[in-house]
């Protein structure tokens, strides 16, 4: 791939997948090769591309101590950017979105980062914030769910047609790190598959032997595969949006091997913007908010508290 083509694809992925990034966890900075993502941005000026700069905010509601700082898993970038823009417009508020791997966000919150809301891709990282005293036990609510899929570059250089092919020699596989929720779920998938006769007991070991890198978040996995820097990766179904479907193919993981990943959201207990934080969480859980999440490929409740697979938007 030429330097020009590589640059074009990276910008396109960043724009269409709403992927922000930072290799050192410094707010407002980005990594050109997108090896990790973390973006802090004013939603009113946020584009899906990273390097968004904060600008003077609209007038904030009376009694609001400042902009609402929302820490959200990288896989939520597209959906939460749209949700926040709508919420800002309706409430004359300003939201700052910090997207990164849930494990990175949990550590920042544990260390005292100024946050008002934490939306994680799993319960384990939210528990870190609870144990640190930053989130009250029992205040979290599940607002969305997700599933895993295997992706490969559109030209499919490794000729992958089934999940068993991930164990073939010389397949270059990219996974998220084990501390990242999607990385943990990927390992669970491999463990389950290794217990079935159609995969063999050595399946997990063989697949892990093909891993060429472990990434800090799911968007980095998506980007490497879309750029043909890897033959395959494991991401969320929501990451394979219609916008990137022309750059990657997918192999679905059956329910018996998959994980229905639950996304919890909770207010930060020492937030100076508690009322506004509660209002945003209510909006995320509202029918309007759930419609936005479904639009971005997340599994949402059917109105009776049950996830419905029909809410998954397939590319």
Higher pLDDT, 105 or 46: 105
Q: What are 1-27's pLDDT values in tens digits? A: 444 444 444 444 444 444 333 333 333
Query: What is the reported pLDDT for 302?
Result: 58
Q: How many CA atoms lie within 13 A of 115 on its CB side?
A: 28
Q: What is the mean pLDDT of residues 116-132?
A: 98
Q: What are 191-226's pLDDT values in tens digits? A: 999 999 999 999 999 999 999 999 999 999 999 999
CA dist 5 and 13 (Å) reads: 12
**What domains does the chain contain, in order, with CATH numbers?**
3-145+262-310 (3.40.190.10), 148-257 (3.40.190.10)
State yes or no: pLDDT of 33 exceeds 50. Answer: no
| Residue 217 DSSP symbol | S
Query: What is the reported pLDDT for 98?
Result: 98
Query: What is the reported pLDDT for 41?
Result: 46
Strand order in the sheet with 173-176: 211-215, 173-176, 232-236, 148-153, 248-252
| End-to-end Cα spacing for the chain | 25
Q: Would you state the structure tokens that stand for residue 159, as one six-digit string?
A: 């000729």
State yes or no: pLDDT of 47 exceeds 60. Answer: no
Query: What is the reported pLDDT for 300?
Result: 96
State yes or no: pLDDT of 64 exceeds 50. Answer: no
Task: Provide CB contacts within 8 A for 198, sequence distance 6+.
Answer: 164
Query: What is the reported pLDDT for 222?
Result: 98
State yes or no: pLDDT of 178 exceeds 60. Answer: yes
Percent of the chain with pLDDT over 90: 72
Mean pLDDT over the full length of the chain: 82
Q: What angle do CA 17, 22, 23 make, to 5 degrees?
A: 125
State yes or no: pLDDT of 163 exceeds 70. Answer: yes
Q: What are 88-97's pLDDT values in tens digits? A: 999 989 999 9
Of 29-33, 183-187, 304-308, which one has max mean pLDDT?
A: 183-187
Q: What is the mean pLDDT of residues 94-101?
A: 97
- Band (pLDDT 50/70/90 cuts) for residue 301 is confident
State yes or no: pLDDT of 312 exceeds 80. Answer: no
Cβ neighbours, 10 Å, residue 254: 10
Strand order in the sheet with 38-42: 38-42, 95-100, 68-73, 117-119, 261-267, 141-146
Higher pLDDT, 314 or 115: 115
Is 20 exposed, middle or buried (CB count within 10 Å of its CB: 0-12, 13-18, 19+)? buried
Query: What is the reported pLDDT for 7?
Result: 45
State yes or no: pLDDT of 44 exceeds 50. Answer: no
Higher pLDDT, 127 or 308: 127
- Band (pLDDT 50/70/90 cuts) for residue 30 is very low
Query: What is the reported pLDDT for 200?
Result: 94
Q: What are 245-291's pLDDT values in tens digits? A: 899 999 999 999 999 999 999 999 999 999 999 999 999 999 999 99
């Amino acid at each position: 791939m030429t330097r020009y083509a590589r640059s074009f694809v990276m910008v396109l992925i960043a724009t269409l997948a709403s992927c922000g990034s930072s290799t050192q966890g410094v707010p407002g900075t980005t990594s050109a090769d997108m090896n990790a993502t973390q973006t802090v941005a004013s939603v009113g000026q946020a584009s899906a591309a990273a390097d968004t700069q904060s600008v003077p905010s609209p007038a904030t509601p009376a009694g609001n101590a400042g902009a609402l700082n929302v820490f959200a898993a990288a896989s939520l970038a597209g959906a939460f950017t749209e949700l926040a823009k709508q919420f800002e417009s309706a409430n004359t508020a300003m939201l700052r979105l910090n997207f990164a791997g849930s494990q990175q966000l949990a550590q920042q919150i544990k260390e005292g980062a100024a946050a008002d809301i934490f939306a994680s891709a799993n319960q384990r990282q939210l528990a870190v914030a609870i144990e640190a005293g930053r989130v009250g036990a029992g205040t979290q609510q599940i607002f969305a769910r997700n599933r895993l899929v295997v992706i490969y570059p559109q030209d499919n250089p490794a000729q992958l047609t089934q999940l068993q092919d991930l164990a073939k020699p010389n397949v270059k596989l990219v996974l998220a790190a084990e501390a990242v929720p999607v990385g943990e779920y990927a390992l669970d998938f491999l463990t389950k598959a290794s217990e079935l006769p159609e995969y063999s007991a050595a399946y997990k070991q063989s697949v892990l032997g093909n891993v060429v890198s472990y990434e800090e978040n799911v968007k980095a996995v998506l980007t490497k595969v879309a750029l043909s820097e890897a033959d395959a990766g494991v991401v969320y179904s929501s990451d394979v949006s219609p916008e990137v479907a022309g750059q990657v193919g997918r192999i679905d993981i059956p329910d018996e091997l998959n994980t229905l990943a639950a996304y919890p959201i909770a207010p930060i207990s020492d937030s100076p913007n508690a009322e506004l934080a509660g209002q945003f969480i209510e909006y995320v859980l509202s029918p309007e908010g759930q419609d936005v999440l479904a639009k971005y490929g997340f599994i949402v409740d059917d109105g009776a508290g049950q996830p419905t697979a029909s809410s998954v938007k397939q590319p």
